[in-house]
């Protein structure tokens, strides 16, 4: 398929538009002082040219070129040119053996070793879920038959962490022994199981940030609110936010001083202290409004925001630099031997996995 994208010149105007038939349309020059119009990115996700409230290049969230970021090779990287990028469907996903037929969701992409791992599940309360292993060549196999997982993440300890709507908690798999039951990290708050943990990010010290909306929760929700949590290395659970509507995707900046959380209300930013605790007030990312699903990062510090039928790419100052068409997009991650393959998971009938090669390496989850 062709990809529709709009590469913005800084924060002020649309530079190139690649249409669905592959032709290039260049808009007229615009006064740089005029704010760019809102762009309907599909599925309720809207991006604007505004950079109000965004951190500048030296603010938390920007990579330190002198120190390799977690999951990134040493060096300084520039945001990718998205002109001509084409997403290709990975035909082996989902495996069509009768599991979760019809409408479903592929989620939680994470590159571990030499393969991508993704969750696949259907609709309803606490649906059955399994994990696929997808090789770089696109060959898929079932890695975990009854994982109960949604989002997945890779820890510095080499374990595969999962947000489990089956048990209402966070679990950890031994990648070398995926047939073994996972270890439960946390499965309750306030004496009750969590609703349906959706996505998670693991800090370098083992701290886990995760969201707990109600999407795959039991019919009677065990928790009274949807929340964002932090799990300390000693398994102490803290509430970060209890006001966001259905919090979803979650990601850390390369320097681990910013936490982004997607929700039905858009994209929020939390400043973090050196110990990983929240150090200030939550702020809304001005460039994104509408529902946000999963989040990914590249080694230039850019943020990839999945929602509806698009992946919106923000630079480290939270300005829009591209919008990639991706039907049903739910989440993104980088993989391949050089970490320059962008993977996009999607929901639908059937759910889908997309991929594309980019100029910049990115993080594996």
Residues facing residue 251 across a β-bridge = 260
Q: In this predicted structure, what is the pLDDT of residue 308?
A: 83
Domains of the chain: 5-357 (2.120.10.30)
Question: Which residue, 3, 78, 105, is CA-closest to 353?
Answer: 105
The rounded mean pLDDT for the chain is 84
Backbone angles phi, psi at 261, to 5 degrees: -135, 125
Backbone angles phi, psi at 148, to 5 degrees: 70, 20
Between 50-54, 74-78, 109-113, 226-230, the lowest mean confidence (pLDDT) is in 50-54
> Helix count (H) and strand count (E) of the chain?
0, 30
Identify the residue whose tokens are 């259905």.
246
**Cβ contact 197:209 at 8 Å:** no
Quickly state the pLDDT bin for 328 (edges 50, 70, 90).
Answer: very high
When pLDDT is averaged across residues 140-152 and rounded to a whole number, the result is 98
Identify the residue whose tokens are 């390799």.
68
Q: What's the pLDDT tens digit per position in 239-263?
A: 999 999 999 999 999 999 999 999 9
Instruction: Classify residue 257 by its DSSP letter.
Output: -
Looking at the predicted structure, is the pLDDT value of residue 227 above 80? yes
Task: Give the whole-number percent of the chain exceeding pLDDT 70.
Answer: 81
Return the number of other C-beta atoms located less than 10 Å from residue 113's C-beta.
Answer: 12
Give the tokens for residue 237.
Answer: 């659970």
Q: What angle do CA 310, 328, 312 make, to 5 degrees?
A: 15
Q: Could you tell me how many residues make up the chain?
A: 365
Q: In this predicted structure, what is the pLDDT of residue 60?
A: 42
**Cβ contact 171:181 at 8 Å:** no
Q: In this predicted structure, what is the pLDDT of residue 84?
A: 85
The span from the CA of 306 to the CA of 286, in Å, is 16
**Residue 243: helix, strand or coil by DSSP?**
coil
**Cβ contact 312:65 at 8 Å:** no
Tell me the whole-structure pTM to 2 decimals.
Answer: 0.85
Q: What's the pLDDT tens digit per position in 51-93?
A: 434 444 334 444 443 344 467 988 899 999 998 888 999 999 9
**Cβ contact 241:250 at 8 Å:** no
The span from the CA of 340 to the CA of 337, in Å, is 8
- Tell me the torsion sign for CA atoms 61, 63, 68, 72: positive
Contacts of residue 148, Cβ cutoff 8 Å, sequence gap at least 6: 126, 128, 129, 162, 164, 165, 166, 167, 171
Looking at the predicted structure, is the pLDDT value of residue 17 above 50? no
**Cβ contact 278:270 at 8 Å:** yes
Looking at the predicted structure, is the pLDDT value of residue 198 above 60? yes
Question: Which residue, 293, 291, 329, 292, is CA-closest to 309?
Answer: 329
Rounded to the nearest angstrom, the gap between the alpha carbon of residue 47 and the centroid of all alpha carbons in its chain is 17
**Residue 227: helix, strand or coil by DSSP?**
strand
Quickly state the pLDDT bin for 27 (edges 50, 70, 90).
Answer: very low
* Pairing verdict, β 183-186 and 169-173: antiparallel
Question: Which residue, 260, 254, 224, 218, is CA-closest to 242?
Answer: 224
DSSP run (H or E) holding 319: none
Q: In this predicted structure, what is the pLDDT of residue 46?
A: 53
The span from the CA of 365 to the CA of 209, in Å, is 13
Backbone angles phi, psi at 283, to 5 degrees: -130, 150
When pLDDT is averaged across residues 229-245 and rounded to a whole number, the result is 96
Looking at the predicted structure, is the pLDDT value of residue 151 above 80? yes
Contacts of residue 303, Cβ cutoff 8 Å, sequence gap at least 6: 251, 260, 295, 296, 297, 313, 314, 316, 318
């Amino acid at each position: 398929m062709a990809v529709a994208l709009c590469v913005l010149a800084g924060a002020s105007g649309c530079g190139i538009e690649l249409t669905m038939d592959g032709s290039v349309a260049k808009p007229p020059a615009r006064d740089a002082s005029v704010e760019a119009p809102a762009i309907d990115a599909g599925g309720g996700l809207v991006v604007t040219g505004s950079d109000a409230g965004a951190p500048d290049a030296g603010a938390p969230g920007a990579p330190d070129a002198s120190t390799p970021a977690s999951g990134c090779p040493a060096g300084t990287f520039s945001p990718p040119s998205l002109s001509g990028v084409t997403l290709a469907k990975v035909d082996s996903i989902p495996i069509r053996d009768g599991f979760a037929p019809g409408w479903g969701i592929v989620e939680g992409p994470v590159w571990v070793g030499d393969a991508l791992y993704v969750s696949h599940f259907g609709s309803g309360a606490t649906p059955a879920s399994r994990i696929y292993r997808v090789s770089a060549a696109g060959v898929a196999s079932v890695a975990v038959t009854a994982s109960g997982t949604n989002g997945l993440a890779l820890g510095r300890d080499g374990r595969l962490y999962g947000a489990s709507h089956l048990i209402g908690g966070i679990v950890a798999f031994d990648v070398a022994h995926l047939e073994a039951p996972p270890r439960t990290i946390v499965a309750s708050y306030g004496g009750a199981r969590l609703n349906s943990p959706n996505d998670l990010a693991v800090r370098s010290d083992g701290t886990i940030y995760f969201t707990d909306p109600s999407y795959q929760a039991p019919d009677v929700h065990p928790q009274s609110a949807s929340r964002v949590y932090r799990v300390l290395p000693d398994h102490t659970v803290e509430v970060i936010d209890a006001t966001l509507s259905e919090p979803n995707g979650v990601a850390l900046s390369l320097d681990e001083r910013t936490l982004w959380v997607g929700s039905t209300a858009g994209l929020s930013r939390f400043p973090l202290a050196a110990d990983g605790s929240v150090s200030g007030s939550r702020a809304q990312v001005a460039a994104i409004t509408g529902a946000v699903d999963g989040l990914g990062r590249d080694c230039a510090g850019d943020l990839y925001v999945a929602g509806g039928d698009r992946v919106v790419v923000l630079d480290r100052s939270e300005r829009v630099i591209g919008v990639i068409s991706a039907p049903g997009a739910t989440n993104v991650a980088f993989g391949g031997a050089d970490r320059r393959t962008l993977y996009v998971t999607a929901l639908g009938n059937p759910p889908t996995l997309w991929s594309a090669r980019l100029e910049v390496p990115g993080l594996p989850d």
